[in-house]
Structure formats: structure tokens, C-alpha cells
Amino acid sequence: MQEDQGAGQGAGAAHHVVVVALENVLALDIGIPLQVFGSWRDGPYRLTVCAERPGTVPMHGGPALSVVHGLDCLASADTVIVPGYVEPENPSDAVTAALARAAARGARMVSICTGAFALAAAGVLDGHRATTHWQYAAALAERFPRVSVRPEVLYVDEGQVLTSAGVAAGLDLCLHLIRRDHGARMANQQARLLVAAPHRTGGQAQYIDLPVRPDRSDGLTRVYEWALCNLHQPLTVDQLAHRAGTSRRTLIRRFHAETGRPPMRWLLDARLARSRELLEAGDLTVEAVARHCGLGTPANFRTLFKAHVGVAPSVYRETFHEKFRSETGQPRSRSTR
């Protein structure tokens, strides 16, 4: 198990992510943040894994974990992630107290799957919207009435408190954290390294509505890829159906089954995501970005962008463009990708 990745980067150089391994932690739930945040070399994140008692921690779905660090690591965490664990009961007083202290001093608190029960037990989720695995959503709501449980969503971003649904939704949330910290380009690069796509919406806060590129090889993959290469064109449902070799009705049904929304909404999300990348990485005018993304006039683009992302395109560019330049060392570019 990898931990303390990037520890030699220099004081304060990397965002410290601490993953809390509770007893009977789910193998995939803990594996996701370890892979996403522990695979950087001289990158923006430093990863530590901790447990209530350093040593051997039982893991459900895999061999026991050997954990070196204790809960004192939470005192220096910028982000705390609690993966899911089997049959979630409230963790010990020591764990809940450590989580509460981390939240009180301003650490970003994140849970994957049933890890939400630990955050809720620590009072971190009080007054917040949150989600967890659908099988446990009712139990979370009943046990913690101060938490507004949203069982229908993949993840919820409440600013300093973020929660995800079960298993694979943890990957969506971790990629969203990278997007929030460093912009769409870095999140997309990491997604490609993971052979995944930043593809499913959390459906909650600004900067979340991402394009859907499902990972099902037996689905509409070629249609998705073709559409993503032709976003500048005035695409229609009939064109997509023709490309898929199916009827309009069948295409709409399959889009709903694979992406959870109709084709034209998927296209809008894909266009908005492409516009983010262009705003971050280059100095194209708003008119040019709108044209390259198939979003109509500059006025229409500004209206759609603010409605779905939460801020104007100019504000988004100011937020992420300088961050992209400082992290990549690349000058301003007028390229469209």
C-alpha cells in the first residue's frame, strides 16, 4: 500500500490528502483515493493513510492493510477522505473526535459510500446535504436527522464537505476534487491515466455538470466519441440516431439507460465542459469559444454557462487560467484544445 507519496516535495508544496482506514474498510473504496491522489510524482498532492491504531487494519474484499500512521495525521490534513466500510456503525469516540477537530480547523471533509456515517457521527454533516450508497441512504437519514440525505445523486459538493454514493461514484468525486482544485484539464489528464472518463454528473453545485462518456464498451461509445469530435456542428437527435444505426426512439431510450438523461442535455453538458477547457487553457474570445463548442452567440453562451456552471465565462477564466499556466508552465495559446 502506498502512502506519504510526494513527501519530499518541500514544506507546503503539496496539498495533503489523508485517507482514514476504518476497520473493515471496503477494498475498492479505499483503492480509489489511493490511486487518484497517491500516483502523482512531484505533483500537487501528498497522500497519507492513517488508522485509529497503526498496524494491521482488516479490509473487506482484500488482504489486511498495514498502516503506519495514526489519527494525529489529521492535524495536518488539507483534505480528509473516509472510504466506506462494512455494516457501518458509529466509529469510536477517538475517530469521531479527530474528524470533528479536522473539520473545525477548516480541513475539507470527504466521504465515499458508507464513509458518510463516520462524518455524520462526528457532526460534520449536520445541516448539509449528503449522499451514500443507495442501500444505506434510509439508515443514514434515520440515524442522523440533521443531515439532508440525497439518495438519488452520485455525489454532493457542499464546499468544505463532500460525499459520494457507493463504490465507483468515489472515482467521480475524486476527479471532481481535482477539477475543483486545478481545473478541467488536469482532471481530464488524470482520468485518461486511469482509463476512465470524467463522465458522470454529481448534479449539485457549480463546476460539477460534466459530460457523460459512459465506460460501457457495448453501448453507444462510437456515437459519443463522434459527437465529442463534432461539438461545433449543430447536432440533432436524428443525426445521432443515424450515426448509431437505430431509430430516434431507440436512441433516446438507450441514452437514458446509459447516461441518465436525454441526448440533447448530454450534448449541452459536453459543450459546456469543452468550453471550460478552452477558457482554462487559451485566450480565445468568448465568441470563438462559443463557436468552437456549438453554443451559439456569445450572449447565448454567457447565459447557458452562468446558468449551469454558476459564474460568467470571464470569471471562470480568471479563476482557472492563471492556475493552468502556473502548473503547466505553458504560455497563452490560441489552440482550440
Domains in the chain: boundaries: 7-188, 215-328
Strand 161-164 versus strand 155-157 pairing type: antiparallel
| Topology, domain 7-188 | Rossmann fold (3.40.50)
Q: Are 286 and 314 in contact (CB under 8 A)?
A: yes
Coil, helix or strand at residue 33: helix
Q: Are 280 and 185 in contact (CB under 8 A)?
A: yes
Please give the share of the chain, as a percent, with pLDDT higher than 90. 58
- The DSSP code for 229 is H
* Distant-in-sequence, close-in-space partners of 120: CB < 8 Å, separation ≥ 6: 126, 130, 140, 143, 144, 147
Question: Does the pLDDT at position 255 exceed 90?
Answer: no
pLDDT value, residue 184: 78
What digits encode the pLDDT tens for the residues 281-312? 877 899 999 999 999 999 999 999 988 877 88
Average pLDDT over residues 77-98: 95
Lowest-pLDDT choice from 54-58, 101-105, 188-192, 237-241: 188-192
Please give the share of the chain, as a percent, with pLDDT higher than 70. 84
Coil, helix or strand at residue 157: strand
Residue type, 121: A
Report which of 167, 105, 117 is spatially closest to residue 147, judged by C-alpha positions: 117
Average pLDDT over residues 326-335: 44
Q: Are 67 and 49 in contact (CB under 8 A)?
A: yes
Question: Does the pLDDT at position 27 exceed 60?
Answer: yes
Q: Where are the alpha helices (DSSP H) in the chain?
A: 27-38, 93-104, 115-121, 137-143, 169-182, 184-193, 221-229, 237-244, 248-259, 263-281, 286-293, 298-309, 313-328
pLDDT value, residue 219: 63
What totals of helices (H) and strands (E) does the chain contain, helices first? Answer: 13, 12
* Distant-in-sequence, close-in-space partners of 193: CB < 8 Å, separation ≥ 6: 39
Average pLDDT over residues 35-62: 92
Question: Domain 215-328 class?
Answer: mainly alpha
Report which of 304, 309, 216, 227 is spatially closest to residue 263, judged by C-alpha positions: 227
Question: Does the pLDDT at position 211 exceed 50?
Answer: no
What digits encode the pLDDT tens for the residues 124-134? 999 999 999 98
Lowest-pLDDT choice from 186-195, 219-228, 260-269, 282-291: 186-195
Coil, helix or strand at residue 175: helix
Evaluate if pTM is beyond 0.95: no
What digits encode the pLDDT tens for the residues 135-158? 899 899 999 999 999 887 889 999
pLDDT value, residue 321: 63
